[in-house]
Amino acid sequence: MDDQYLNVIMGIIMNAGNAKGLAHEALESAKQNDFEKANQLMAESNQSLAEAHNVQSEMLTKEAQGEHTEMNLYMVHAQDHLMTAITYQDLVKELITLYKKNAQ
């Protein structure tokens, strides 16, 4: 495995992990009825998720152009982090909405 491939994997894991962590912080802010901070943290979470998704999209583009990507446990792990972050972020958005309704 070359360094460039490892950097791609770590980029997905790092950005997906950041997105999930920021979404969790947003949820904690919403629990305290600090919806301005929750919105700010979710915006940051979205940015991190976009960065992880961009890395993945680059890989998909290369694959479509015939440049095969090596699939190994590290890549599976990175994809798992990305999908978990996406799912968690979707759930947190719904929970923040519920906290806002409850606060009114």
Lowest-confidence pick of 8-12, 19-23, 94-98: 8-12
Annotated binding residue at 80?
yes
Q: pTM of the full predicted structure?
A: 0.89
The two structure tokens encoding residue 49: 């998720």
**Does the pLDDT value for residue 76 go beyond 90?**
yes
Q: Which of 53, 68, 77, 81 is catalytic?
A: 77
Q: Are 82 and 12 in contact (CB under 8 A)?
A: yes
Q: Is 77 a catalytic residue?
A: yes
Higher pLDDT, 3 or 39: 39
The residues, ordered by sequence, that sit 6+ positions from 63 with a Cβ below 8 Å of its Cβ are 69
Largest CA distance in the chain: 54
- pLDDT at 29 > cutoff 80: yes
User: Which domains can be identified in the chain, with CATH numbers?
Assistant: 18-103 (1.20.58.80)
